[in-house]
Structure 1
Amino acid sequence: MRPHASSPRKKTIRAAAFVASAAMVVIGIQTGSANAQPDSSREAGATALLLTPAERTASIKAAQADTSAQADHLGLGAKEKLVARDVIKDADGTVHTRYERTYDGLPVLGGDLVVHEKPSGARTVTKATSAKIAVAGTDAAVSSSAASKAALKAATSADSGEKAKSPRKVVWAATGKPVLAWETVVTGTQKDGTPSELHVITDAATGKRLAENEAVHTGTGTSKYSGTVPLGTTKSGSTYSLTDGTRGSHKTYDLNQGSSGTGTLFTDADDVWGGGRQTAGVDAHYGAAETWDFYKEVLGRNGIKNNGVGSYSRVHYGNNYVNAFWQDSCFCMTYGDGSGNANALTSIDVAAHEMTHGVTAATAKLNYSGESGGLNEATSDIFASAVEFYSGNSSDVGDYLIGEKININGDGTPLRYQDKPSKDGASRDYWSSTLGNIDVHYSSGPANHFYYLLSEGSGAKTINGVSYNSPTYDGSTVTGIGRDKATKIWYKALTTYLTSTSKYAQARTATLSAATDLYGANSTEYKAVAAAWTAINVK
């Protein structure tokens, strides 16, 4: 396999695969016309505009200048302030502004909110918590050093080299009544070799551990399956490098089996890439480009943070490392070489999965634990499938299987199935009250199932040569509305309605709001979203 930079891109395939799509999730209903046409003017009006980096920066700056008035309008307390984090503008003039909150100068974790303002001036708000943000005082009974020691003791997921950074004082509002707390970041290495950045929340009055949240988000995939592909490279003198100047200068590095630092930028004399250590770099670079193009061409998003700035990829991480991960602290994706360093985990769906963790961190910021963690993982799986379909790559065709090329199970089966998640032996098909107690890769199951049902419907069918048979919780028959619409609805929900603490019930509300914006409150699409949630026991 010798991918090279001069191959033509097959935009016609992409256009056919995703006609004005947007971000994942859509299913079907039992009644109503599944073929009903949407109100195209409404859909266009609710679609986010593609802002230049300068326009986005100006919008956030203007929102920040208006935070005092916005806080008054929302009825926030005298000690509360807003910090504008993101602004999304719809074609119809609606503006969605995402804010973080502070209380008496302290960050409020779980206090984020989104203000939705229509051209008429009508406003609504989506909050991560409805609780009043107030604490008795900001003097901690538990010392910073005591919180640090407690965090180190609690960091059971990191088994080597644990170090605790100096705790910061915060207001914890993500669960229950807001309390004064310490947030300590414990760094180290997880048991499988993945770096760990574990955020431990400790009650500043009692020393009780309130929550843990892992900041390094892991995923899986494979490599060497994309055939000959185009690459964005940059020439300097007589040498080319894997620096994609058309996609935010995304770079791809060789870690050479190391586990820290950036590594060495891939270079080549003739711009014809592939073979040996280059192959993993080619696959990672190509996957990053496909994901960037998908977000920009389909969803109108200019890079992970929507600011036109690229991240970077690191391949050949560690020895026998069978995983890949996104790390927000470095704004980068990292890929291992698999068992025996034989198969780098760098397929299209893996790249899309990891980059989407970055998009989630830049938008809803879904906490990586409990039900919100499951929604975080499902979002990455959903976009992984969407990008794979969008790419139109004949060597790795689109499907609703996650990690189907890696063969990590040794029997040719994928890691996860979106049509029936429980086929992997651990994921859940439906929501239940205990869902938040399991690993986030498995609590993602119901949301993955929702997306498949919304896209394709229930029952048996074959798509791109893959057989699926998706069940429903209540035995109902669900008719899909198509992957394109499902993707648009999920993306709009992610970027304008979901918050850091959202659970499955809030995801249902968010996607119904997104469907209303895009297609109308009485549309086939809206009814399909409601039916799909019911089909996975979210009512």
Structure 2
Amino acid sequence: MVVVGVQSGTATAQPDEAATARAIGATALELTPAQRVTALKEAQADAPGQAASLGLGAQEKLVVRDVIEDVDGTVHTRYERTYAGLPVLGGDLVVHAAPNGKDTVTKAVAARISVPTTTPELAPKAARTTALKAAAAEQTTEAAAEDAPRKVIWAADGKPVLAYETVVEGFQPDGTPSELHVVTDAATGAELFRDEAIETGTGTGKYNGTVTIGTTLSGSTYSLTDGTRGSHKTYDLNQGTSGTGTLFTNSSDVWSGGRLTAGVDVHYGAGKTWDFYKNVLGRNGIKNNGVASYSRAHYGNNYVNAFWSDSCFCMTYGDGASNSRPLTSIDVAAHEMTHGVTAATANLTYSGESGGLNEATSDILATAVEFYAANSAAPGNYLIGEQININGNGTPLRYQDKPSKDGASRDYWSSTLGSVDVHYSSGPANHFFYLLAEGSGAKTINGVSYNSPTYDGSTLAGIGRDKAVAIWYKALTTYMTSTTKYAGARTATLSAAGALYGTTSAEYKAVAATWTAVNVS
């Protein structure tokens, strides 16, 4: 076993890192939690007028989810939508209000929201039955529909339909908890959509070396409570599969050995991810409100995975095969926390092409965090899960320079991409990010060799990782919606590049050329 020794304290970004952050085009103003609350309240007060200006129907209302103000005065307000008091799934939109008074809007669907009636022909039990069948098809065990199906308007496919949404809880085949959302037609009982809310990722632990983490002293006992990063806490589930677990504590502020090792890696990864979002992207925590999620280590027995759950607002990590190789590296922590950022912003549906973009976002920003951490024990690279050795032959789980090297991911977009598992339909977006950052062809970075091809045979130079990260993050938080697919991601990143660097800039042109290089045009 590799022992991790830890010194107390708080890891902070170096001054030059913060300066770089501002230089790469982080255009959003940083708001204090109180200022953000005020901005949300003011936007909600203006929501009826905004709905009228957008020409929404009398039964439609807008509910504010987020407000981002750019330094140039442009305000981006993200809304959910209701119809006759019912949630509209796929009804989210973002209004971009420019200082010159010109507003534009990005909608998840273009269709007008209207249904003939909000009285369902079928009783909720019919939806429950269909949802349980869907869970059985997904091989979900111990499945149960915990809450009564709720009435919704399903609009994500373009044509609004009165529907039920049922949440079935249980366990996926590998032991991961399941929160399967099943949408059924309220008139026919037919399944319209299913979406797994538990978002999984992979990585490894015990490779961070001696690191600095944030801890708290209470009396004579130290705990893994990081008071400088939203009071993030790390718990020991002790091989359990439910509940919060027991907060990691220690009699001294030097943490090493035994069960503490995984807890240290998790806590360190969460801290570095918080610092990256704060110091580089100007984001104050997952929801940008200064409040931390929490982490749970030692989940289950021989559980070879990790996952994010928005319902508990927490990350959870298994101990791997034989409970001997915890999945607790910095890239997996960043991957899981980024699922939370995605849920708080674009909320990309975890299915089809949007699910692939969701997974790619976690991979992309996890890579950025790994480079940011600059930990010599775990150098930054464009490999996902390279240290865990799940494959048994020392190979990574995913490759961003040529995704197909894992044997399942796609290098380029095709019309069949939406039918591929989200961890593999993430391939073209991961490939886009690598090409945009580093360019095509053979090269060696931090001792790792890469050789990235292009669909159209083009040669790309790359614009640098910092700019590529800034463009992807702004696209996610400002221009993407729940239903964004690859074509929409192209539009969103071009909009982001235009906002950051101008529509005649080399960066804007590089984004367009790079999407063409992964067959998105």
Letter in 2 for 1:163: A
Instruction: Show the 5 A alignment for 1:226-237.
Output: 226-237=208-219
2:458 to 449, 473, 476: 476
Mapped pair 1:107 → 2:87: yes
Write the mapping of 1:179-258 to structure 2, written as runs, cut at 5 A.
179-258=161-240
- Provide Cα deviations, 1:124-157, integer angstroms capped at 9, x if missing partner: 0000000010000000011101111111011122
In the other structure, the counterpart of 2:267 is 285
Q: Choose which of 137, 147, 151 in structure 1 pairs with 2:117.
A: 137
> Given that residues 158 and 196 in structure 1 are in contact (C-alpha distance below 8 angstroms), is that contact kept between their aligned partners in structure 2?
no
CA contact (8 A) 2:10 2:228 kept: no
Do the aligned residues in 1 keep the contact of 2:212 with 2:268 (CA within 8 Å)?
yes
**One-letter code aligned to 2:476:** L
Please point out which of 48, 66, 69 is paired with 1:86: 66
What runs of 5+ residues in structure 1 fail to find an aligned partner? 22-39
Q: Structure 2: how far apart are the matches of 1:10 and 1:368?
A: 33
User: Which of 128, 131, 138 matches 1:157?
Assistant: 138
The amino acid of 1:321's aligned partner reads Y
How big is each residue's C-alpha offset from its partner over 1:82-124, in whole Å with a ceiling of 9 and x where there is no partner? 0001001111111100000000000000000000111222110
Q: Distance in 2 between matches of 1:84 and 1:10?
A: 33
Equivalent runs, 1:356-371 vs 2, <5 Å: 356-371=338-353
Q: Residue in 2 aligned with 1:507?
A: 489
Would you say 1:490 and 2:472 are equivalent positions? yes
Structure 2 CA distance, aligned partners of 1:304 and 1:347? 19
| Cα deviation 1:393-440 (Å, max 9, x = unaligned) | 000000000000101101110000000000000000000000000100
Tell me if 1:168 matches 2:150: yes
AA of the residue aligned to 1:137 = T
1:73 aligns with one of 28, 39, 53: 53
SS at the partner of 2:51?
helix
State the structure with bigger RCO (CA 8 A, min sep 6), 1 or 2: 1
CA contact (8 A) 1:17 1:392 kept: no
1:506-525 aligned at under 5 Å gives the runs: 506-525=488-507
- In the aligned structure 1, how far is the partner of 2:124 from the partner of 2:140? 23
Aligned equivalents of 1:366, 1:8: Cα separation in 2: 33
1:3 corresponds to 2:5: yes
Instruction: For 2:111 and 2:122, locate their aligned partners in 1 and report how far apart those are by CA, in whole Å.
Output: 24
Amino acid aligned to 1:459: G
- How far did residue 16 of structure 1 move? 5.5
Contact 1:81 1:103 in 2 (8 A): yes
Q: 1:403 aligns with which of 360, 380, 385?
A: 385
| DSSP 3-state at the match of 1:359 | helix
Give me the whole-angstrom Cα distance separating, in 1, the residues matched to 2:375 and 2:20.
17
In structure 2, the residue matched to 1:95 is 75
Cα separation, 1, equivalents of 2:69 and 2:55 = 24
The one-letter amino acid paired with 2:72 is D
State the secondary structure of the residue aligned to 2:354.
Answer: helix
- TM-superposed CA distance for 1:188, in Å, is 0.3
Distance (whole Å) between structure 2 residues aligned to residue 208 and residue 266 of structure 1: 47
Do the aligned partners of 1:417 and 1:423 also contact (CA within 8 Å) in 2?
Answer: yes
Deviates more, 1:322-331 or 1:88-97: 88-97
Given that 1:7 and 1:229 are in contact with CA atoms closer than 8 Å, whether structure 2 keeps it comes out as: no
Task: Classify the secondary structure of the residue corresponding to 1:284.
Answer: helix
| Aligned twin of 1:51 | 31
What is the distance in 2 between the residues matched to 1:172 and 1:261? 32
Kindly report which structure 2 residues correspond to 1:298-317, keeping only aligned pairs within 5 A, or say none. 298-317=280-299
Question: Does the CA contact (< 8 Å) of 1:17 and 1:389 recur in 2?
Answer: no
Structure 2 counterpart of 1:20: 21
What do residues 184-221 of structure 1 show as CA deviations (whole Å, max 9, x unaligned)?
A: 00000000000000000000111110000000000001
Distance 1:408 1:255, change over 3 A: same
Q: How far does the alpha carbon of each residue in 1:461-513 deviate from its partner, in whole angstroms, 9 at most, with x for none?
A: 00000000000001110110000000000000000000000000000000000
Displacement of 1:176? 2.8
Residue by residue, what CA displacement relative to the aligned partner does 1:293-319 show, whole Å, maximum 9, x if unpaired? 000000000000000000000000000
Partner of 2:373: 391
Kindly state the Cα deviation for residue 524 of structure 1 after the two structures are TM-superposed: 0.1
- The one of 374, 380, 389 equivalent to 2:362 is 380
TM superposition score normalised by structure 1: 0.94
SS at 2:50's partner residue? helix
What is the alpha-carbon distance in structure 2 between the residues aligned to residue 505 and residue 426 of structure 1?
22
Return the alpha-carbon distance in structure 2 between the equivalents of residues 316 and 132 of structure 1.
48
1:270 corresponds in structure 2 to 252
**SS of 2:90 mapped into structure 1:** strand
Deviations 1:141-182 (A, max 9, x none): 111011111110111225321111210000000013110000
Deviation of the 1:323 alpha carbon: 0.1
Residue 426 of structure 1 corresponds to 408
CA contact (8 A) 2:75 2:96 kept: yes
Cα distance in 2, alignment partners of residues 65 and 123 from structure 1: 18
Cα distance in 2, alignment partners of residues 9 and 508 from structure 1: 36
For 1:512 and 1:484, the matched residues in 2 are separated by 16
Q: CA deviation at 1:6?
A: 3.4
Does structure 1 residue 333 correspond to structure 2 residue 315? yes
2:241 equivalent among 238, 244, 259: 259
CA drift at 1:10: 7.0
Q: Is the 8 A contact 1:5 1:233 kept in 2?
A: no
CA RMSD of aligned residues (A): 1.3
Using the TM superposition, give the Cα deviation of residue 49 of structure 1 relative to its aligned residue in structure 2, in angstroms. Answer: 1.1
Residue type at the aligned position of 2:144: K
d(CA) in 2 for partners of 1:77, 1:113: 15
Q: Counterparts of 2:407 and 2:519 in 1: how far apart (Å)?
A: 20
SS at match of 1:169: strand
**1:450 aligned residue (410, 413, 432):** 432
Q: Aligned partner of 2:30: which letter?
A: L
In 1, distance between residues paired with 2:359 and 2:72? 31
Runs of 4+ residues deviating >3 angstroms = 5-12, 14-18
